[in-house]
Amino acid sequence: MAVIGFVGPGVMGRPMAANLVAAGHEVRVYGRSPESRVRAESTGGIVADSVRDACAGAEVVCTMLPDGPAVLGAISGDDGVLASMTRGAVLVDHSTISPAEAVEVHESAAAAGIRCLDAPVSGGEAGAVEGALSIMVGGAQETLDEVRPLLEAMGTTVVRVGGAGAGQVVKAANQLMVAGHIQMLAEALVFLRAHGTDLSSALDVLGGGLAGSTVLQRKRAAMLSGDFTPGFRIALHDKDLGIVSAAMREQGLALPATALLTSLVAAVRARGGADLDHSALYGLTLDLNGMAATD
């Protein structure tokens, strides 16, 4: 049994923390807002009243926060994560932030005598609940080896992809591919509907061939019903594609389809869909073609 601090019991963080509790660990969960405190209570862990209460004496601290500024704010200061941790402990940041911000987290941790991994996740809320996330890890191999049993309580695929910040590079690529898969599924559904095809049967066939994907499996029900209740919000995917766009510019890359996808996700947000699931790209595609989700 390990003593774990967990900061950020959001849509993804709550089930991740709950799976650590279910694996037999002592998990101290901190959420800043009243809503987060309610989610912290539902994990079965110990609800901490402060970052310091969650992190002091913990062997490992996991953070799962919405963006880079939130992570950098949480780890800094006299009452922040790093100041509250014991030297030699491990910080595992599961948030999705830019590679440059991840390197900054690693450098701040090292200055405080804390070992660090950037370990963003993929799999959505369903994957988090099932403990079936894919976890892409940047940092030292020996640090990953030490905490691997904890990560395997939350994910079925745990892979070191390089040094500091590498996990975030791979996560950015992941978010690009997910947006592309959702948009192409949306366009395929519109194409099928225009021809009067039975959508459910068509997706059964497509899912069994080369066009099949985890996106198709996990998003088909919501898209067929037009229910865009968030599992992963458009606002967050828009933020993630902003990370991709910035990294593209830094590397001088020309990725035209990426630019189009970024604009489409931004359009859903601009239309008031920030808090919808990213499968709401289907709603935008329907509107572009004069169709309604429930036709």
Catalytic residue numbers read 171
DSSP letter for 279, please: G
Q: How far apart are CA 45 and CA 25, in angstroms?
A: 9
* Distance (Å, whole) CA 48 – CA 9: 12
Maximal CA-CA distance, the chain: 63
Per DSSP, the three-state class of 74 is helix
Count of Cβ atoms closer than 10 Å to residue 270 Cβ: 12
Going by C-beta distance under 8 Å and a sequence separation of 6 or more, which residues neighbour residue 192?
Answer: 199, 202
d(CA 133, CA 272): 29
Question: Residue 136: phi, psi to the nearest 5?
Answer: -105, 120
